[in-house]
Amino acid sequence: METYRSVVITGGRGMLAHELSAVLQSRGYAPVLADRRECDISDRAQVAKLFEAHRPTLLLNCAAHTGVDQCEDEQERANAINGAGVGYLAEVARERGTKLVHFSTDFVFDGHIDRPYRPLDIPNPLSAYGKSKLLGEERVKQVAPPSWLIVRTSWLFGRHGHCFPKVIIDRARAGQPLKVVNDQRGCPTYAADLAAATLELIDRRASGIWHVTNTNPTTWFDFAKSILKQFEIAAEVTPISTAKWVEMRPKQAIRPAYSVLDTSAFAALTGRQMRPWPDALRDYRNQWEKGS
């Protein structure tokens, strides 16, 4: 990897930020982890202050409003953080010659397709969250800081923070009923694997939009069953349709029925496929058991 004098990670308390920091530290870097208390990216003055204080030559943006359903009621806030805030990072990065890596989502697509989405496919988000994340992507492309990189991923899970496996495990162990949608299809992605893959892209000076996920598309229902099996939890999980789920929870955001991302460009560049998500889930369990 090109040597970077100073590395900053925004959204520094999040799941992916922790994993990026770990990979960078293994390479001898001491990245600055800036959470919302240090820098609210929706405030341009705070963004400028962050750059002035740390003068990053590489900035990885993990800051986001990620509450998919919450964004439906907080569209202005979602657009401010996921859209305008990303634009502020891009603007100051361009002014200072900083490489910007920004993370986006499969939710920028509508799911009305019968093959994995390629990076250049036209987005059409269905939810307020997806629309706000697309705003961020557009701002990065419009401002075009040096060697900008957008990494889209999907169904992220990991050791630090809230994620689908943790919800399933906690509810199952509490004896709560489990009803999980079985007609939405995508690829779970382990945050540690995404972090390592991102550094590979940076190593190869990749720019533009890239798709990075673990492999083996699945449904939320089958993902939930695999989680219970991996953690050896004897609990029943009931499959339900998206229509039934929305009927039960009418304020839910609309999610794409199919959001598998095409990662062939990453495989061609790096010479390897991302590993299947069940293998990553095994590592997640091992880390859980270690309490780390």
Tokens of 191: 């945050």
Catalytic machinery residues: 129
Torsion-angle region of 272 (φ positive above 0: left; ψ -120 to 50: alpha; else: beta): beta
Taking the C-alpha atoms of residue 42 and residue 114, their distance in angstroms, rounded to an integer, is 36
111, 159 Cβ separation under 8 angstroms: no
The HSE-up count of residue 108 (CA atoms within 13 Å, CB side) is 26
Q: Mind giving me the DSSP string for the chain?
A: ----S-EEEESTTSHHHHHHHHHHHHTT---EEE-TTT--TTSHHHHHHHHHHH--SEEEE------TTHHHH-HHHHIIIIIIIHHHHHHHHHHHT-EEEEEEEGGGS----SSPBPTTSPP---SHHHHHHHHHHHHHHHH--TT-EEEEE-SEE-SSS--HHHHHHHHHHTT--EEEESS-EE--EEHHHHHHHHHHHHHTT--EEEE---BS-EEHHHHHHHHHHHTT----EEEE-HHHHHHH-TTPPP--SB--B--HHHHHHHSSPPPBHHHHHHHHHHHHHHT-
